[in-house]
């Protein structure tokens, strides 16, 4: 597993993102994730999602 780099953003489905400064701060969090995608929020479509999305008519 790659080493975690700090400071780093953490994301929660009900709160604004926060920045943690070290592993101790991160360990105190419950329900926070490394990415919004970890709890089902997509911030940008993946290449696979773009392949199957309907094209808009111009």
pTM across the whole model:
0.67
What residues pair up with 18 in beta bridges, in sequence order? Answer: 10
Question: What is the 3-state composition of the chain as percent helix, strand, coil, each rounded to the nearest 5?
Answer: 25, 20, 55
Give the per-residue pLDDT at 54: 66
Per-residue pLDDT, averaged over 21-36, amounts to: 96
What are the boundaries of each domain within the chain? 8-52
3-20 pLDDT tens trace: 889 999 999 999 999 999
Give the dihedral sign, CA 46/50/54/55: positive
């Amino acid at each position: 597993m790659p080493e975690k780099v700090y400071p780093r953003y953490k994301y929660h489905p009900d709160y604004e993102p926060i920045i943690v400064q070290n592993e101790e701060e991160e360990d105190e969090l419950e329900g926070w994730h490394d990415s919004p995608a970890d709890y089902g929020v997509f911030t940008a479509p993946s290449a696979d999602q773009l392949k199957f999305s309907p094209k808009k008519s111009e």
